[in-house]
Amino acid sequence: HAAPFAGLLPASARASAVVAKAAKRKAAAGKRKPAKPAAFDLKKAMLVAMRAHQDLWRLDPQRECSRDVYVRADGGSRFFFAGKAVGAAGRCDAASAVLLQKRAILEHARLLHPELEQMHRLSRPLQLWAAPADSEVSVARKVQALESLEGARLSRAMREDADAGATLAGFDPDQPESDGRAGFSAPPRPGGVR
C-alpha cells in the first residue's frame, strides 16, 4: 500500500521507496527456510526392508550376516523381540544391518510392545540388542546371551552406499500373536548380556 502522504513526497523519494521495498522482498526470498525433510513413512520403510530381507536371507544360508534383534528401554529388565535383520553377504555385517534399519526397527518395536512406547514417551532411550539368528528359544531359556549394539558404528562408505539406494540390509519384523497379544519378550540370562 501507499503511504497516506505519498503524493506529497517528491518523485525521487517515491522511487527510492519502491526500490527499497523491492530490495527487501528479494532479500527475504533469499532467506527462505529450507524445506523440511519428508516425514518418516514406517509402512514404506517396512515394505522395503521386508522385500530386502526375503532376497538377502536366501543368500546367507550360514546366517553369518543375520541376527535376531531385541529392543530394551534403558535400564529396563526385559528384552523385546523385534524381528530378524540380515546384511548383504560380503558387503554388510550383521551389526551394520541392524544399524542401517535402526529407525524402522525401533518404531516397529514401539508399536508391537506398548511397554516400549510408554518408556519412549517417558524419554527413556531405547537400545538395540542382538543374538545369533534363529536363537529365540535359546534366549527364552536363558541359554543364549544378548549382545548390546551400543558401541557399533557404520562406516562412512556403508552409509553413503545405503543413501545411494544400495540394498545392503533387510528386516523381517516380528508380528503380534493371533489373539492380538504383543510378541515375545524375555528377561536377560543372569550375567548373560554383553
Alpha helices, DSSP H, located in the chain: 11-30, 42-58, 94-100, 102-112, 114-121, 136-140, 156-163
Average pLDDT of every residue of the chain: 85
**CA distance linking residue 134 with residue 55, whole number of Å:** 17
Cα radius of gyration rounded to whole Å, the chain: 26
**Regarding predicted confidence, which is higher, 85 or 191?**
85
User: Is 182 in contact with 112 (CB distance < 8 Å)?
Assistant: yes
Pairing relationship of beta strands 79-87 and 126-132 according to DSSP bridges? unpaired
Q: Secondary structure of 98-140 in the HEC alphabet?
A: HHHCHHHHHHHHHHHCHHHHHHHHCCCCEEEEEEECCCHHHHH
**CA distance linking residue 53 with residue 49, whole number of Å:** 6
User: Is 109 in contact with 71 (CB distance < 8 Å)?
Assistant: yes
Quick: pLDDT tens for 124-156: 999 999 999 999 999 988 899 999 999 999 999
User: Is 133 in contact with 76 (CB distance < 8 Å)?
Assistant: no
Q: How many CA atoms lie within 13 A of 61 on its CB side?
A: 0
Quick: pLDDT tens for 65-93: 999 999 999 988 899 999 999 999 999 99
Quick: pLDDT tens for 20-65: 676 677 666 666 666 677 788 889 999 999 999 999 999 888 889 9
Sign of CA dihedral 156, 160, 166, 169: positive
